[in-house]
Structure 1
């Protein structure tokens, strides 16, 4: 399949959100509260003029998707960019073309295409500064053989999820990373 066919196969953002079973409240909180910076009119006009569309590889259980998807949707709203969502686990043929570090099916992945279906940019699964934050948090975990590892890892993921939902600096990191990718 070419990227236009993948795009056409996807769910609308509304269909995706309505079908969510996990992380819906967090995604909707970010979607409601995040605002694209008003001083970015020139950038937004440039993106809108490119008439891009975006394919989103995602799953509702993914905390990174919960954070990143609403930021993308706000950007798309400001630039009239059409968005279609594909569930990663049902679309491995496409997912396996966008592996992180050549091995990981990490999501979300945003594939920006022009009207002919040519890939213009790919973003994901995290903004670089947020990737560093997660790596720093992981480095503080005990060894995997440590009996407290599972509990400490679980607590770490809960804290990251909470920051994803509440920390506006995280939202701005995602937006700035997307902006850099599209400039």
Structure 2
């Protein structure tokens, strides 16, 4: 699988954001309010690597709404070149990056070098965000219960609001992405 070809197939982040129908305002709110630390040595180290990033995503995804703006801020500071691919239109690639070998969870960030070699992957969530989601899901009734769908929709609304408004979540995502970038040799 030639990751450089997948990268070339992707769309620019601005085009992706402009086409969003579901979480555009929330994504932009996070982007507008999240600030990277100043004078950070990681930025120069990442710039030297000249990385590209393939983002598997869909605009209905709350995790993408949270994670993509943080990635884009890092991309600006480090000259990461980012391209977006819609998960459902690119299942051949998505199926190479399944979560727990079964789930097409997104977003997935695939970091590649200038030759298209995979250097790292990240996603769909920072561990602390996964813990938050796990706790929220544990409160749901069984799927067979009559009120399951209503409770599930309430949980999604609560999670999306939390993702948009809780700046500590943004920092958890940033730290997790930072950890991944530090591991790239």
TM class by smaller structure: over 0.9
- Aligned equivalent of 1:2: 2
> Per the alignment, in what secondary structure is the counterpart of residue 146 of structure 2?
coil
Alpha-carbon separation, structure 2, partners of 1:70 and 1:63: 12
Alpha-carbon separation, structure 1, partners of 2:145 and 2:160: 23
Alpha-carbon separation, structure 2, partners of 1:82 and 1:116: 13
- Aligned equivalent of 1:164: 163
- Aligned equivalent of 2:178: 179
- Aligned equivalent of 2:48: 49
Is 1:79–2:78 an aligned residue pair? yes
Is 1:13–2:16 an aligned residue pair? no
Deviations 1:33-69 (A, max 9, x none): 1111125x20111111111110000000000001100
Cα distance, 1:145 vs structure 2: 2.1
Given the two structures, how large is their TM-score scaled by the length of structure 1? 0.97
Segments ≥4 residues shifted beyond 3 Å = none
Alpha-carbon separation, structure 2, partners of 1:127 and 1:44: 20
Is 1:144–2:149 an aligned residue pair? no
Cα distance, 1:147 vs structure 2: 1.9
Alpha-carbon separation, structure 2, partners of 1:19 and 1:61: 12
Alpha-carbon separation, structure 2, partners of 1:61 and 1:31: 17
> Per the alignment, in what secondary structure is the counterpart of residue 68 of structure 2?
helix
Structure 2: any 5+ residue segments left out of the alignment? none
Alpha-carbon separation, structure 1, partners of 2:134 and 2:48: 37
How many residues were matched structurally? 182
